[in-house]
Amino acid sequence: MLTSYLVHCPHFGCNWFGSLLPSQDTDSWKGSIPTTSVAVFECPQCRHSWRARIQGDDVVPLPVPQDEQVHLV
């Protein structure tokens, strides 16, 4: 069953927090047991994507590569 996860956007300068569905490879998340443990989320505020490891009902963001970090002034 496709489910949403409570997440914080990890990108610098974005404080968005809320419930999101994985944004890519949604077929992996349709069954009762996901076929992958890593999901990609897209922030509705800053529009940046990030990867996170799914551990049960929790989401653990993976490090954002240095070249993808947004530094707002």
For the chain, domain boundaries: 5-62
Global pTM reads 0.69
Query: Token pair 């890593």 is at which residue?
Result: 38
pLDDT tier at 55, thresholds 50, 70, 90: confident
- CA distance to 6, 20, 32, 45, 46, per residue, from 42 (Å): 13, 8, 23, 9, 8
Q: Is the pLDDT of residue 72 over 50?
A: no
By DSSP bridging, strand 17-20 and strand 58-61 are unpaired
Chain position carrying tokens 């490891």:
53
Say which range, 8-22, 31-45, 50-64, has the weakest mean pLDDT.
31-45
Alpha-carbon separation of residue 63 from 12, 25, 36, 46 (angstroms): 12, 20, 18, 17
Residue 4: pLDDT over 90: no
Residue 41 has pLDDT above 80, yes or no: yes
